[in-house]
């Protein structure tokens, strides 16, 4: 798998102006929906990360959203991201059958769709 980010072993405290000892909490942990439905996934940071957040889908490591609300090239417009600070949302406006999968948010150290260091690891079942 070619990861679109590098995992960074951040010390407790801060690295530059980005705090790395941050807990990311995503909800719901799972959900059952039907095609055509609107789906919302939320992600909360234990402290402000401004808009240093990306959303990924397991396909594998498919970047969907970067900079909290910027749609990656080639990603369908039914995907959107919003939020800043501590609260973020990934929305799929009209679910398609091939949208089934694992989604996760990632606190990154660069607002970019290029390779970026990350402070939190992806879920174990994503690897």
Residue 105 has pLDDT above 80, yes or no: yes
Per DSSP, the chain holds a count of helices (H) and strands (E) of 0, 12
Cβ atoms < 10 Å from Cβ of 12: 7
Cα dihedral 30/33/39/42 (nearest 10)? -10
Residue 40 has pLDDT above 90, yes or no: yes
Total residues found in the chain within this entry: 127
Q: Domains of the chain: which residue ranges?
A: 5-126
Average pLDDT, the chain: 78
Task: Give the rounded distance of the alpha carbon of 43 from its chain centre.
Answer: 8
Give me the architecture of the 5-126 domain, per CATH: Sandwich (2.60)
Query: Whole-model pTM above 0.95?
Result: no
Residue 11 has pLDDT above 60, yes or no: no
Reported as a pLDDT band with limits 50, 70 and 90, residue 44 is very high
Q: Taking Cα atoms as reference points, which of 62, 50, 1 lies closest to residue 22?
A: 50
Residue 79 has pLDDT above 50, yes or no: yes
């Amino acid at each position: 798998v070619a990861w679109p980010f590098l995992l960074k072993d951040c010390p407790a405290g801060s690295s530059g102006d980005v705090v790395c000892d941050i807990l990311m909490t995503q909800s719901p942990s799972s959900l059952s929906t039907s095609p055509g439905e609107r789906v919302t996934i939320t992600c909360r940071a234990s402290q402000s990360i401004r808009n240093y957040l990306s959303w990924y889908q397991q396909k594998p490591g498919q970047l969907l959203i970067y900079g909290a609300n910027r749609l990656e090239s080639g990603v369908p417009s039914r995907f959107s991201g919003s939020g800043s600070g501590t609260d973020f949302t990934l929305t799929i406006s009209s679910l398609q059958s091939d949208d089934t999968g694992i989604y996760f948010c990632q606190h990154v150290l660069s607002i970019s769709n290029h390779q970026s260091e990350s402070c939190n690891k992806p879920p174990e079942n994503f690897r």
